[in-house]
Amino acid sequence: MSRDMNYGEAAEPKARSFRFWLIRTIWCFGGITLVGTILGGVLFFCVTRTSGLRAQNRQDGQEVEIYSKEQIDKFITSVLIIVQNQPMGQESAQADMVFIASFNAFEQRLTMVALADETLVQTEEYGDKSLGEAYALGGPGLLVNIINQSFGLDLQNYACTDTHSLAVMIDLLGGIQTELTQNEADYINNALGNSGEGLHAGTVTLTGAQSVVHAMDNLSGQEPLGSPRRSLKLIQSLVFNLRKTATKEAMLPLLSLLFSNIETNLDFTMLHDLGYEVLKAEEMEYQSLLIPCDGSWKAAGTNGEKLQADIAQNGELLLETLYNAQ
């Protein structure tokens, strides 16, 4: 399914800047994945070179190999970002947030995709499982393979962290500014035990803990897929804020935290020297996508807690969005 895009000599300068854009994505991830993610991290990307063609991950004593995939487009690289609900290193932790950060070096476009962790997918060994459950069963290796197989992608790299670490990262960055409805404000206040003196509707700056709670909010207003929708909103806000206000002094402690609280097969060798420079580089195009898309899923499971999605339809939408594939 590979396509060799013939852009000519004009593409070379942008191709050479590829690694810098990847580093930018990582910085955004470290400061974003927000949402509990993605909030704090989002946008991790492949910096320079990965540590190998095939990465291995140990989960529950088993090695899960990431199967090598041919790159669909030589100018586009994507990274799977996972935020789990328990501290890093703890076995069988489920994924609370799943994102794909994809950068088109030729068009200088960054795409953030939020995949609802309740989405059911087929696995060879375990039958139908949600994305969150698949991560608990086989770690990032299994999840990368399943997403590639289900949606026709070429993921090879991943970055994993937990909600607590992301909250700390967000606090280091000064919080995230966003718009809240009164229902959303009440949800955060009740979750953190400060309902009498907490947030109110309007423009607010959320702390790390508040950001994570907001990103995990799947109830306020009974909005379908509320959590991933809010995650994407927070990520966009943080990305653009970082580009305007980030300082090298603020980035250094964040980088230190990233090293100690992230599991990844990305190479961070050049991140320290180039991260800030790239973050402040030229403008880029930004777009986001929610999977499964509206109208392509129905509730499943005993209590409607899972999502039965049209995988083929969503795979086509992903390819069209990331690769302009028709």
Q: Give the residue, 36 or 32, on which the prediction is more confident.
A: 32
Can you give the CATH number for the domain in which 162 is found?
A: 3.40.630.190
- The confidence score (pLDDT) of residue 134 equals 94
Structural domain boundaries, residue 89: 11-174+234-323
Average confidence (pLDDT) over 9-26: 51
Domains: count for the chain: 1
Does any domain span residue 139?
Answer: yes
Does the pLDDT of residue 289 top 90, yes or no?
yes
Whole-angstrom Cα distance, residue 249 to residue 265?
26
Whole-angstrom Cα distance, residue 309 to residue 301?
12
**What b-and-e string marks burial along 192-210, b requiring 16 or more CB atoms within 10 Å of the CB?**
eeeeeebbeeeebebbbbb
Does the pLDDT of residue 43 top 70, yes or no?
no
Secondary structure (3-state) at 189: helix
Does any domain span residue 212?
Answer: no
- The DSSP 8-state label assigned to residue 124 in this structure reads T
Whether 23 contacts 270, CB under 8 Å: yes
Does the pLDDT of residue 132 top 60, yes or no?
yes
| pLDDT grade for 325, boundaries at 50, 70 and 90 | low
Does any domain span residue 264?
Answer: yes
Does any domain span residue 77?
Answer: yes
Does any domain span residue 4?
Answer: no
| pLDDT grade for 36, boundaries at 50, 70 and 90 | very low
Does any domain span residue 223?
Answer: no
Average confidence (pLDDT) over 85-100: 85
Average confidence (pLDDT) over 269-286: 56
Does any domain span residue 153?
Answer: yes
- The confidence score (pLDDT) of residue 143 equals 96
Does any domain span residue 244?
Answer: yes
